[in-house]
Chain A
Amino acid sequence: MGAAREWIVRLWNTLRPRRADSELEDELRLHLELTAEASQRRGESPEAAARSARLHAGSVVQTMEAVRDQRGLPWVDNLGRDVRQSVRAIRRFPFVTTVAVISLALGIGANAAVLSLINQWLLRPLPVSEPDGLINLSAPGPKPGSRSCNIAGDCESTFSYPMFRDLELAAPEVLSPIAAHRAFDANLADRGQTAKAMGTLVSGHYFAVLGLQPAIGRLIAPEDDRVIDQSPVVVLSHDYWQSHYSGRVDVIGQTIGVNAQPMTIVGVAPRGFDGTTLGWKPQVFIPLTMRWALQPARSRDHDNRRSYWVYLFTRVKPGASIEQAAAAINVPYHAIINEVEAPLQRGMSDQTLARFKARRIQVDPGRRGQTDLAVGAPLTLLFATTALVLLIACVNVANLLLARAAARSTEMATRLSIGASRGHLISQLMVESSILALLGAFASIVVARWTMSLVRSLVPVGTVTMPLELDGSAFVAIGVLAVATTMVVGLLPALRATRSHVFPTLNGQSAHAVGGRTTARVRWSLVTAQVALSMVLMVLAGLFTKSLDNVTRVDTGVAVDGLVTFEISPERNAYSAAQTSLLIERIEDQLGALPGAIAVASAQASLLSGSGYWDSVYVEGFDVGPDTNNDTNYDEIGPEYFRTLGIPLIAGREFTRADSANSASVAIVNERFAARFNLGRDAVGKRMARAREGAPLDVEIVGVVKDARHIDVKETMPSMFFIPHRQNANLRSMTFYVRTMVPPDDMMAAIRRAMFRLDPNLPVEKLRTVQQQLRDETMVLDRFMSVLTGAFAGLATLLAAIGLYGVLAFTVVQRTKEIGLRMALGASPGAVRRMVLHQVALMSLIGGTVGAACGLAVARAAQTLLFGLQFHDSRVLTSAAIVLTVVAFAAGALPANRAARVDPLRALKYE
């Protein structure tokens, strides 16, 4: 108690303005006087009494010093003095300070940004109660039938709706009830305004299993999830509630249109909860039983055990292990698979049937929810990149501080010789380092913001919504690391500077005394290490740049220039099938009449967006046995599709408006399809069928087109067939293409106006050029990696160049006398310049070689992210080496020239 009180008082005394020293002085003087008077009373003379009083009682000044030490916190006072001195010292070396602060800011900022991403995308658990208990279920194994998967996981993870309900009923003892969810595209009609949004369909136990409580109202409960089509209720996300309803409590009970279905708002999800899927941030949560009401054109597959689409997760009860959970859930699963589902399978070989019957549910930890986004590898690599930047930055700081310490050795020696303690000098140098580190840490906030906005510009908005916030904890982690590093690297020169031998230094031999050979060697090793690290970064950046270049050079087979596209989803705005057909026809007419429109086409799937449709086909002359893979891509298209996209027609004809629901079924196939299904040279006129085995081959092939990539630029050319969308009664959404001869921006504005005239309430989605679409959908990762590694490598190399320049310049100054001597003995300026550049060359060679070796090791890990090149691409390596050499010699040129201009006479008088 007493001790704590003492420290509080002392802290207070330190902080508040000085308590009157004069009072203390009065007190002490009185003490002295009284002592002297006592001596006088013993018969001493006044002078002798005063002397003996001082002798016995001590001096006022010293006592005051001692009392001051006790009164306040002397080290805080000292710190203040150190800080003032440090600030003066730092300002004396503006180059060192600026470069050190910028280096640290870049290193810390870039790392904090990338670490924020890692935290949000890879590490952070769901904001639910006890996320560690959550487990994801997936159902690998043969799955004949229709499979549909999305951002929440691959198609191996999905279950059929009847299977989900069976498992939900059979929920074993050790598990919470099974919860199900599925993302859907929503059009939200909010007070007359329709806008595209993200939605998640959830089962009745979804929120309960996560252990969430509503912000207001209630969450979706089991009674909302009993009867198909019967629970038009919606729970809003906290963000949507705040942004669209200003957080008003009276939203409960209001009606909102979701895909043109009026639904009652019953509650708001807790703050910070955005579903369980990374990249999918729903604004609304709706009972799973409403899936078919929200998407009327979708087949009503709630009884179909061969239609796989729903994602499942649950929670292990406390005390049970994940293995127990897996064993428990597989008991009912095994029974259902064998007794109910196996008999339903047709056309399966015995072998496949055996595999089908042996299927087991796989159980995985679910603390971070579900995601199919493979962000781990790119982020790890990116983090490695920024870690290298930080390393280079720290080396820069260390080197600069070393050079500065050398330049200040005279100052240190002087201060030591006039009585400053070594500890005090070291503590002052440490204060200087920490001031640098703190300045760097503050500046890093700006760098982190830049980095994050660069990242934002590379992650397209729309298809996914990734969390892209700067994370305070990441900052703290990196900040602490950097400050600690600076302190450590600051300590080394501090020790060195204060160890210098006082006398020789004061004798004016500082040029030799500054650490001598060892220090120089340390400096050169550090610079060489920087060169090596830069080389690693440049190899990586080069590989990703080349990879992106390869992606952009892929010949898609589509003439993408001057092609504008957009999508509509009439189904979500209560269009009936007949109305949708009519709308598409009117859009085609209106767009075709726009000034500058050369051709107009429509299709179901969005071109080169990474998603497509699959179906099994039966083709004339092609035998389908058990287990034969007869799955192929297809699309449903309108007239003029191939002319609009610039895909050449090889044989037969395009579809026309006459190919409608009332006319004969027709198809167009691509070359690869013709080759794969043995159609031979005369494909036109042959017949095929879709989906059902044994059905009559009722579709006539009327055309063959050249191969083109429709789905993804990186995948191999797909086999495809096309059918007229007019022969499909259930069109859910439609993509349009307009080939334009006017600037795309004008065309897009014209399209917007035309669409508004047709239906002001129908959102026009993803209106952009196909070029843009390619960038946004299929090159995201490539651009992400190449731009970020390129930026970091550029910065790092710049830092290394500055470091190199700094050290060279310093060395030249240090060696002025020696250089002068050489020149006096007949060395030409050219020889001196060569001497300096020789050192640069040596460093580039060593650093470059080591860096290239390390770079290759890192690049090997990046191979899966590279497209169309090997990690040891020789052109990339060569380019990196050339850039490195050019930069190194550019940085070395200035100091080398200065060395060559040294005047021998002046140099020998130097110091």
Chain B
Amino acid sequence: MPNKDAKTDVLQGTLDLMILRVLDTMGPLHGYGIADRLAQVSKGAIQLNMGTLYPGLMRLEQRGLLRARWAVTDSKRRARFYELTPAGRKRLAAEKAEWERMSAIMQSLLQE
């Protein structure tokens, strides 16, 4: 099995949530679109390289949370578009709730 240290494992959960959320708000997007949107929203703080993004997309696809199909972009180029499946939508809701619960806990802890 590929080695992954603990740090990326924590990130992995966050990355999944971020990808799912972007696709939820923006509708079907290709890989670059997702990375671009994330950079935009985070004001450049999150710059995903391909080596992180695409394995993540592959994993989410394998878990049945995303599906992908080839389509043509606005600039008439062939690209692979990712969109949420119903399972993905459900997972997003669950993860979102969990994240909010966790961050509320963290917040009250830190502001104590």
* A56-B49, A63-B51, A74-B2 known; A30 vs B79 contact (CB < 8 Å): yes
A62 touches B58 (CB 8 A): no
A58 touches B49 (CB 8 A): yes
Which residue from A5, A24, A32, A69 sits with its C-beta under 8 Å from B63? Answer: A5
Q: Is there an interface contact between B63 and A35, defined as CB atoms closer than 8 Å? A: no
From B18-26, B28-36, B99-107, the one touching the partner chain is B28-36
Which of A10, A28, A70: most chain B Cβ within 10 A? A70
Chain B hits for A23, CB < 8 A: 80
Q: Which residue of B35, B36, B55 has the most chain A CB atoms within 10 A of its CB atom?
A: B55
Q: Is the CB of A30 within 8 A of B77?
A: yes
| Chain B min CB distance to A20 (Å) | 11
Q: How far is the CB of B89 from chain A (nearest CB, A)?
A: 13
Query: For chain A residues 655-674, which have a beta carbon within 8 Å of chain B?
Result: none
Residues of B within 8 A of A35 (CB): 32
- Decide if A165 is an interface residue (CB 8 Å cutoff): no
Contacts A2-B65, A70-B58, A70-B59 given: A56-B47 contact, CB under 8 Å? Answer: yes
For residue B33, which residue of chain A has the nearest CB?
A34
Contact of B79 (CB < 8 Å), options: A27, A60, A67: A27
Is the CB–CB distance between A74 and B91 below 8 Å? Answer: no
Contacts of A60 in B (CB 8 A): 50
Q: Is the CB of A74 within 8 A of B1?
A: yes
Q: Complex Cα distance A321/B83, Å? A: 68
A-binding residues in B (CB < 8 A): 1-2, 30-32, 35-36, 47, 49-51, 54-55, 58-59, 62-65, 77-80, 87, 91
Closest chain A residue to B61, Cβ basis: A9
Report if A758 contacts B (CB, 8 A).
no
- Give the one of B47, B49, B78 with max A CB within 10 A: B49
Please name 19 pairs of A and B residues whose Cβ atoms are closer than 8 Å in the assembled complex, sorted by A: A2-B91, A5-B63, A5-B64, A6-B62, A23-B80, A26-B78, A27-B31, A27-B54, A27-B79, A28-B50, A30-B31, A32-B50, A56-B49, A58-B49, A58-B50, A63-B51, A63-B54, A66-B51, A70-B59
- Whether A28 lies near B55 (C-beta < 8 A) is no
Render A1-31 as a binary contact track against B, CB cut-off 8 A, 1 for contact.
0110110011000000000000110111011
- Chain B residues with CB under 8 Å of A3's CB are 63
A835 and B108 alpha carbons, distance in the complex (Å): 83
Query: What is the CB-to-nearest-CB distance from B74 to chain A, in angstroms, rounded to a whole number?
Result: 12
Q: Closest CB-CB distance, B61 to chain A, in whole Å?
A: 8
Which residues in B have their C-beta under 8 angstroms from that of A28?
Answer: 31, 50, 54
Please tell me if the beta carbons of B32 and A10 are within 8 angstroms of each other in the complex: no
Question: Residue of B at shortest CB range from A26?
Answer: B78
- A38 interface hit (Cβ, 8 Å): yes
| Partner among A2, A5, A56, A66 whose Cβ is within 8 Å of the Cβ of B55 | A66
A71 within 8 A of B: yes
The distance from the CB of A578 to the nearest CB of chain B, in whole angstroms, is: 88
A5 adjacent to B62 (CB under 8 Å):
yes
Q: Does B55 contact A70, Cβ atoms closer than 8 Å?
A: yes
Bound state CA distance, A6 and B12, in angstroms? 15
Cβ contact within 8 Å between B54 and A6? no
Known: A6-B62, A28-B31, A70-B58. 6 other contacts (CB 8 A): A6-B63, A27-B31, A30-B78, A57-B50, A69-B55, A71-B58
Q: Which residues of A contact B47 (CB under 8 A)?
A: 56
**B54, A67: Cβ atoms closer than 8 Å:** yes
Within 8 A of B (CB), among A695-753: none
Chain A residues whose CB sits within 8 angstroms of the CB of B51 once the complex forms: 58, 62-63, 66
* Interface residue from B1, B32, B49 paired with A75 (Cβ < 8 Å): B1
Complex Cα spacing A31 to B35, Å: 9
Q: In the complex the two chains form, what is the Cα distance from A71 to B59 in whole Å?
A: 8
- Chain B residues within 8 Å of A75, by CB: 1
Scoring A residues 140 to 153 as 1 if CB is less than 8 Å from chain B, else 0, what string do you get? 00000000000000
Which parts of A765-816 form the interface with B (CB within 8 Å)? none
Minimum CB distance partner of A64 in chain B = B54
CA distance A311 to B21 in the complex (A): 80
Nearest neighbor of A27 in chain B, beta-carbon distance:
B80
- Complex: how many Å from CA A5 to CA B87? 12
Separation of A379 and B35 alpha carbons in the complex (Å): 72
Residues of B close to A63: CB separation below 8 A: 49-51, 54
Complex interface: chain A residues within 8 A of B2 (CB): 69-70, 74
Residue pair A38, B50 in contact (C-beta under 8 Å) = no
> What 5 A-B pairs have minimum CB-CB distances, sorted nearest first?
A2-B63, A58-B49, A70-B55, A63-B50, A34-B32
A36 CB to nearest chain B CB (Å)? 11
B36 touches A38 (CB 8 A): yes
In angstroms, Cα B31 to Cα A387, docked, is 62
A31 touches B32 (CB 8 A): yes
* A contact residues around B63 at 8 Å (CB): 2-3, 5-6
- Check A67–B58 contact: CB distance below 8 A: yes
Chain A, residue nearest B34 (CB): A31
Q: Is the CB of A6 within 8 A of B50?
A: no
Which residues of the partner chain A approach B55 to less than 8 Å between Cβ atoms? 66-67, 69-70
CA distance A538 to B30 in the complex (A): 76
CA distance A240 to B109 in the complex (A): 81
In the complex, chain B residues whose CB is within 8 Å of the CB of A9: 62
Q: Which B residues are in CB contact (< 8 Å) with A70?
A: 2, 55, 58-59, 62
C-alpha spacing A28/B52, complex, angstroms: 12
Q: Which residue of chain A lies nearest to B2 when distances are taken between CB atoms in the complex?
A: A69
Q: Considering the chains assembled together, what is the distance between the CA atoms of A67 and B87 in angstroms?
A: 23
| Residues of B with C-beta under 8 A to A74 | 1-2
Cα A63 to Cα B32 in complex, Å, equals: 14
Residues from chain A with a CB closer than 8 A to the CB of B78 are 26, 30
Q: Is the beta-carbon distance between B50 and A31 smaller than 8 angstroms?
A: yes
Q: CB-CB < 8 A to B35: which residues of A?
A: 31, 57
**Contact status A10-B50, CB under 8 Å:** no
Nearest opposing residue in chain A for B56, CB measure: A70
Q: Check B32–A30 contact: CB distance below 8 A.
A: yes
Closest to A56 in B: B47
Bound-complex Cα distance A2 to B91 (A) = 10
A35 to B30, CA, bound (A): 13
Q: Knowing A2-B63, A2-B65, A56-B47, say if A66 contacts B54 (CB, 8 Å).
A: yes
Chain A residue contacts of B64, Cβ below 8 A: 2, 5
B90 to chain A, nearest CB (A): 11
CA distance A32 to B80 in the complex (A): 14
CA distance A893 to B63 in the complex (A): 66
Bound complex: CA of A74 vs CA of B3, how far in Å?
A: 11
Q: Given that A27-B79, A69-B2, A74-B1 are known contacts, is A10 also in contact with B62, CB under 8 Å in the complex?
A: yes
List the B residue with the shortest CB-CB distance to A28: B50
Query: Which residue of A27, A38, A56 has the most chain B CB atoms within 10 A of its CB atom?
Result: A27
Q: A57: which of B1, B49, B87 is its contact (CB, 8 Å)?
A: B49
The chain A residue with its CB closest to the CB of B80 is A27
A730 CB to closest chain B CB (Å) equals 81
* Chain B: minimal CB distance from A900 (Å): 54
Q: How far is the CA of A240 from the CA of B50 in the complex (A)?
A: 72
* Candidate in A3, A9, A34, A63 with the most chain B CB atoms within 10 angstroms: A34
Among B31, B36, B50, B62, which residue has the most Cβ atoms of chain A within 10 A?
A: B50
CA–CA, A537 to B1, complex, Å?
Answer: 46
Chain B residues with CB under 8 A of A31:
30-32, 35, 50
Looking at A38, A60, A63, A69, the one whose CB has the most chain B CB atoms below 10 A away is A63
The CA-CA distance from A155 to B41 in the complex, in Å, is 95
- Closest-CB distance, B39 to chain A (whole angstroms): 9
Residues of B within 8 A of A6 (CB): 59, 62-63
* CB-CB nearest in chain A for B48: A57
A38 (CB) vs chain B CBs: closest residue? B36
- Bound complex: CA of A31 vs CA of B78, how far in Å? 11
B64 to chain A, nearest CB (A): 5
CA distance A287 to B65 in the complex (A): 70
Q: Could you tell me the distance between the alpha carbons of A60 and B54 in the complex, rounded to whole angstroms?
A: 11
Residues of chain A lying within 8 A (CB to CB) of residue B80: 23, 27
Name the residue of chain A whose CB is nearest to the CB of B63: A2
Contact bitstring A48-88, B, C-beta under 8 A = 1, else 0:
00000000111010110011011100110000000000000
Please report the C-alpha to C-alpha distance between residue A3 and residue B50 in the assembled complex, in whole angstroms.
23
When C-beta atoms are compared, the residue in chain B nearest to A75 turns out to be B1
